């Protein structure tokens, strides 16, 4: 039995790490129970995900393939009241219930006003709700959801079990009820140093209205916000993130509370943004985009002990299916090459940002562009009809719809003159880095740690490894040795 034991290292959103010794036959529910007991949490508040998919609590670790180097993620669900509309016999019953309650609790509430004998409950898209212990949040029910109570008849049973309809046919029929079935995930990264903070300040003034509109127009959208300064801003923060979510209030609160940073020098830590954004809760089957908004280039590799080559981390994101939009504020010729390369290399778009007042419309336009071409066209037409179109907005909309442009030979030659573009020569590797990363504390300092070598390797394991993506790390052999018989839960 010892060989079936798995050391599970849990990393909570707070950054706290904990270890759990479990067997491969233990279920996700058992893991959640152990975490809840130690952290004094409601077990129904815990989700464990793999590549954006919620793992069923009834599934065993071994069945799910949890082995060495498997990276999972722990998420704590925020409690909220759901307003559920129950439609039956031309009447509507409204039920208020916590998202942490189970399906059993929901059905019990419905039974208080409706006799469910010989009746079934379905969602509007045809999913049947059966009496079980699944948490409502895990089931995917949201506030405003409409449930339909109908009589169980022979005709109904014949339709759902008709052998002429394959499972894929039934799925297609259900999906057709929702014309906006495509999942869209967009992360917006804001540079909060100096004058760049004004862009985030402008967005947050309209963020609640913008996000509410997006969720209404694109029901399956999730948005992430990233704020970053530079490595010298550790006393304030280097980077802060709110993970991909459809919770408008969570996004609004994050944008309202995040402060500005100083930055210190001209390059900023955009390479760290590319690295950290890989750990967001990206789903496998979604249209994914990272929008990098800034006015400076990244640091060169030797600036930190992590030796981050932004080209490599951009390639990792591209391999994950994430398109990167390079939103270039200001008119710096040098930094323009960076934002163009972000877009060209990943299949995204290069967007010049010349005025503060276009940032909110850019925010909306990128999301619509990822969802559907018609959405973007309708939005552009709306701006035209309301008389709000400006040259700056038109330039952004045109860039979103235009084909990727090939760099001219002279422009390619000009990029090579910048140290942040090229990998350093071997002789430069002996130059001490300016900043060191402590993985355990998740912070940066200008002083070397005694275990900075171990920290560097561990950081690469936790921060840059994406299942199914070959990062070609030169420390691969060391990493495998450290991860042997270990499961890391992010």
HEC per residue, 131-163: CCCCEHHHHCCCCCCEEEEEECCHHHHHHHCCC
**Res 134 pLDDT > 70:** yes
Helices within 309-405 (DSSP H only): 310-319, 333-346, 359-371, 373-385, 391-401
pLDDT of 205-260, one tens digit each? Answer: 888 888 888 888 888 899 999 999 999 998 999 999 999 999 999 999 999 999 99
Give the chain's largest Cα–Cα span: 79
pLDDT of 392-434, one tens digit each? Answer: 898 899 888 775 554 555 555 677 677 788 776 554 556 788 9
> Residue 359: its pLDDT value, please?
87
Mean pLDDT for all residues in the chain:
78
Give the helix/strand (H/E) hosting 83: strand 81-88
**Whole-structure pTM over 0.85, yes or no?**
no
**CA neighbours within 13 Å on the CB side: how many for 378?**
8
Return the structure tokens found at 376. 């973007």
Answer yes or no: CATH 3.10.20.90 is held by domain 5-76. yes
CA–CA separation, 195 vs 355, rounded Å?
12
CB atoms inside a 10 Å sphere around CB 136: 22
**Res 80 pLDDT > 80:** yes
**Res 364 pLDDT > 80:** yes
Strands 146-151 and 81-88, how do they pair?
parallel
User: With contact defined as beta carbons under 8 Å apart, do 84 and 141 qualify?
Assistant: yes
pLDDT of 375-396, one tens digit each? Answer: 888 899 999 888 889 988 988 9
Report the alpha-carbon angle 160-163-168, nearest 5: 75
Domains 5-76 and 167-400 share a fold: no
Nearest to 323 by CA among 248, 400, 246: 400
CATH class (in words) of the domain with range 81-151: alpha beta
> Residue 51: its pLDDT value, please?
63
Return the structure tokens found at 366. 């990128």
Q: What is the DSSP letter of 94?
A: E
Nearest to 398 by CA among 414, 376, 422: 376
CA–CA separation, 348 vs 297, rounded Å?
18
**Res 25 pLDDT > 60:** yes
Which band of pLDDT confidence, cut at 50, 70 and 90, is reported for residue 41?
confident
> Residue 469: its pLDDT value, please?
43
pLDDT of 162-176, one tens digit each? Answer: 333 344 443 443 333
Give me the residue spans of the domains in the chain. 5-76, 81-151, 167-400
| 54 vs 293, higher pLDDT | 293
Superfamily for the 167-400 domain: von Willebrand factor, type A domain (3.40.50.410)
> Residue 82: its pLDDT value, please?
92
């Amino acid at each position: 039995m010892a060989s079936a034991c798995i050391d599970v290292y849990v990393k909570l959103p707070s950054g706290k790490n904990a270890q759990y010794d479990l067997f491969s036959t233990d279920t996700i529910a058992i893991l959640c129970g152990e975490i809840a007991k130690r952290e004094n949490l409601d077990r129904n508040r815990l989700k464990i995900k793999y590549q954006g998919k919620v793992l069923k609590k009834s599934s065993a670790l071994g069945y799910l393939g949890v082995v060495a180097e498997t990276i999972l993620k722990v998420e704590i669900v925020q409690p909220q009241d759901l307003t559920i509309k129950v439609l039956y016999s031309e009447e509507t019953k409204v039920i208020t219930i916590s998202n942490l309650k189970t399906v059993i609790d929901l059905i019990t509430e419905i039974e208080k006003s409706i006799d469910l004998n010989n009746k079934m409950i379905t969602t509007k898209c045809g999913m049947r709700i059966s009496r079980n212990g699944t948490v409502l949040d895990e089931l995917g029910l949201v506030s405003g959801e409409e449930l339909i109570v109908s009589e169980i008849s022979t005709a109904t049973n014949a339709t759902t079990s008709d052998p002429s309809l394959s499972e894929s046919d039934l799925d297609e029929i259900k999906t057709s009820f929702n014309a906006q079935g495509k999942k869209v995930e967009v992360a917006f990264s804001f540079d909060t140093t100096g004058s760049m903070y004004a862009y985030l300040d402008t967005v947050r003034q309209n963020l609640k209205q913008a996000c509410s509109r997006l969720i209404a127009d694109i029901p399956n959208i999730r948005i992430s916000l990233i704020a970053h300064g530079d490595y010298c801003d550790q006393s304030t923060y280097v980077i802060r993130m709110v993970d991909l979510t459809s919770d408008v209030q969570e996004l609004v609160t994050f944008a309202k509370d995040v402060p500005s940073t100083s930055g210190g020098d001209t390059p900023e830590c955009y390479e760290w943004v590319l690295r950290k954004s890989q750990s967001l809760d990206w789903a496998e089957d979604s249209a994914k985009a990272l929008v990098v908004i800034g006015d400076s280039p990244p640091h060169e590799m030797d600036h930190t002990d992590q030796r981050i080559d932004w080209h490599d981390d951009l390639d990792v994101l591209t391999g994950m299916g994430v398109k990167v939009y390079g939103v270039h504020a200001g008119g710096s010729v040098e930094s323009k090459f960076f934002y163009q390369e972000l877009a060209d290399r990943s299949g995204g778009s290069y967007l010049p940002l010349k005025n503060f007042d276009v940032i909110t419309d850019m925010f909306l336009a990128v999301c619509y562009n990822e969802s559907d071409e018609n959405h973007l066209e309708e939005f552009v037409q709306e701006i035209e009809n309301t008389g709000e179109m400006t040259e700056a907005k038109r330039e952004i909309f045109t860039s979103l719809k235009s084909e990727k442009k090939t760099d001219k030979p002279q422009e390619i030659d000009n990029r090579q003159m910048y140290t942040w573009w090229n990998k350093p020569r071997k002789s430069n590797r002996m130059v001490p880095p300016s900043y060191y990363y402590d993985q355990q504390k998740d912070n940066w300092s200008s002083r070397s740690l005694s275990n900075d070598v171990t920290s560097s390797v561990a950081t690469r394991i936790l921060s840059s490894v994406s299942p199914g993506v070959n990062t070609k790390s030169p420390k691969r052999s060391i990493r495998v040795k450290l991860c042997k018989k270990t499961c890391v839960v992010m």
